[in-house]
Amino acid sequence: MTDPQDLKAHEGTYSSFIGMLKWAIPVIAIIAAIVVALIA
């Protein structure tokens, strides 16, 4: 059914996605806080 090579590629893609998400969420939160502070 599933090719083991596809699983390895999926694991690599997933780990890089999670790694980027760990940095993106705080950055987006900081930018949103700055925008809210500028508007208020």
Summarize pLDDT for 1-40 with one digit per residue, the tens: 567 678 888 899 999 999 999 999 999 999 999 999 999 8
What is residue 24's predicted lDDT score, i.e. its pLDDT? 97
Distance in angstroms (rounded) separating the CA atoms of residues 38 and 33: 9
What is residue 40's predicted lDDT score, i.e. its pLDDT? 86
The pTM of the full predicted model, rounded to 2 decimals, is: 0.65
Q: Which residues of 3-34 are buried (b: 16+ CB within 10 A; e: fewer)?
A: eeeeeeeeeeeeeeeeeeeeeeeeeeeeeeee
Question: Which pair of tokens denotes residue 22?
Answer: 């760990």
What is residue 2's predicted lDDT score, i.e. its pLDDT? 64
Length of the chain: 40
- C-alpha 29: how far from chain center: 13
